[in-house]
Structure 1
Amino acid sequence: MRMSLFSGKSILVTGAASGIGLAVARYCADQGAARLILVDRDSIPADFAHEAVAGDVRDEALWDALDLTGLDHAVVNAGVAGAGAIAELSLEAWRHILSINLDGAFLTLRAAMRAMRGRGGSIVLTASAAGVKAEPGVAAYGTSKAALIHLAKVAAKEGAPQRIRVNAIAPAGVETPVWDAIPMFAERAAEVGRDAAFAEMAAIATPLGRYAKPEEIARQIGFLLSEQSALVTGTTLLSDGGYTL
């Protein structure tokens, strides 16, 4: 009988209430995880076994208090989207996105690496194709995700002596609730429906003509976390349907 990828493993996932984070949590549960520590400000569905931690990833006290003993894997996923031209962007809006997407990721990553010292493990940071390809109006979001890509590389080099692997994944369009915070998408979805709005945008922006489902990205993150990628560290998996070509 084939062994599940995460049998007996302890896994941390942030931003686990919806979208990619929830898909990852469900995938890890299906793959035999023994302990799922799921962090989010919002409530997490109760259709699978997990430890729910309500909190803000930017709160250092949250990480100081959280028991991550025995942690094997971590998915640094919590984040927000936002849009605005540089000349029109407020410092408050800039700091809001950077604080969640980068400060929160740093604190999560630091806590995970501390918990894995002396025993090894693997970590995946959820970046974005927006951190690779420049587009108007996404200065704060794109910069935060570009920084995550580099942070993963530095963490991989620092973690290697401790047998801690660190990688990033950079999706382009993924059909998640994060799009609802973008006025352009929200307006179009109200007119034609979310599925049609996603299809329209994907047809324009993605050579393969569609966006990813959260479950697809979850399986790719699972690969990066698992022993199937035992020699992969410091890399970024672009899962973008050709968007960055």
Structure 2
Amino acid sequence: MARHILITGAGSGIGLACAQHLAVQGAERLVLVDRDADALSRVELPVSVDRVIGDVRDAALWDDLAPLLAGIDAAVVNAGVAGAGAIADMSLSEWQRIISINLDGAFLTLRAAMRAMKDTGGAIVATSSAAGIKPEVGVAAYGASKAALLHLVKVAAKEGAADRIRVNAVAPAGVETPVWDTVPMFASRAAEIGRDAAFAELAAMATPLGRYAKPEEIAAQVAFLLSDAAALITGATLVCDGGYTL
């Protein structure tokens, strides 16, 4: 079991669920990164916690964090944003916003983690998405960023193998997290019928299993990929989508 773990996007959603799960599974120290200071301040865990307020796209942040990351043996590359819009209607600035957080931020996090683990080995899991596997109308920037992340994970797995660093990804479809509140279509429907009902309605339409995942379920899958039970798994993507990509 990993003991010293970096988690980005740790203030809410999958990142927070991973922090909570790993804290009770034997982690000794968590380095939690999020740009939302209020959300991160509310995270209470029964282990040693270093809270870092910052933007994962900021290369200087990762340079400053290098001493704090010394000794980590696991990382969850999770920070990201959602976004929607047809290609013909999307502005370049919106495209760049999504790509920069979801891909540039993931690259910088991955680079920092691999540098910190170079002499000791470790395990890394990146949060991608089923949107990076199955094309849908209106998710060009988000889907492209998550598809590129899946390939980045494979390259990182090959490069990290010599240093005993495993790198994998999870690719959920719908997960009941606050990121949905930034999607106008969902926010509008949730205002009409309630958040739980909106999730249920979407899941019934989108997934053969008829429901979306809870963040805690994805956290358990991340913990598995970080654990010794997955010691020979690297460069893989665990698709956890309720059948969405079938």
Normalised-by-shorter TM-score class: over 0.9
Secondary structure, counterpart of 1:166 in structure 2:
strand
Aligned partner letter, 1:59: D
Normalized against structure 1, the TM-score is what? 0.96
Matched, 1:51 2:45: no
CA distance in 2, matches of 1:233, 1:32: 22
Match of 2:16 in 1: 22
**Quick one: distance in 1 between partners of 2:102 and 2:227?**
24
1:11-160 counterparts in 2 under 5 A? 11-43=5-37, 44=40, 45-48=42-45, 49=47, 50-66=49-65, 67-160=68-161
- Where do 5+ consecutive residues of structure 1 fail to align? none
Q: Matches of 1:70 and 1:228 in 2, distance apart? A: 21
What is the CA distance between 1:118 and its match in structure 2? 1.5
Q: Deviations over 1:38-69 (max 9, x none)?
A: 00011312321411000000001110011211
How far 1:203 moved relative to its partner? 0.2
Cα distance in 1 for partners of 2:95, 2:227 equals: 35
Structure 1 residue 19: Cα displacement: 0.1
Tell me, in whole angstroms, the C-alpha distance in 1 between the residues paired with 2:215 and 2:120.
Answer: 30
| 2:162 paired with 1:161 | yes
Aligned sequence identity (%): 72
Query: Separation in 2 of the partners of 1:230 and 1:115?
Result: 19
What SS does the aligned partner of 1:201 have?
helix
Q: Show structure 2 runs of 5+ residues with no match.
A: none
Q: TM-score, normalised by structure 2?
A: 0.96
- Matched pairs, number: 239
| CA-CA distance at 1:80 after TM superposition | 0.2
Computed over aligned residues only, the root mean square deviation of the Cα atoms, in angstroms, reads 0.7
Deviation for aligned residue 1:143: 0.1
Cα deviation 1:82-101 (Å, max 9, x = unaligned): 00000000000000000000
CA distance in 2, matches of 1:122, 1:95: 29
Separation in structure 2 between the aligned mates of residue 215 and residue 221 of structure 1, nearest angstrom: 10
Distance 1:169 1:46 in 2: 23
What's the offset of the Cα at 1:161? 0.5
Counterpart mapping for 1:157-196 below 5 A: 157-196=158-197
Structure 1 distance, partners of 2:140, 2:44, is 37
Rounded to whole Å, the distance in 2 between the matches of 1:234 and 1:46 is 31
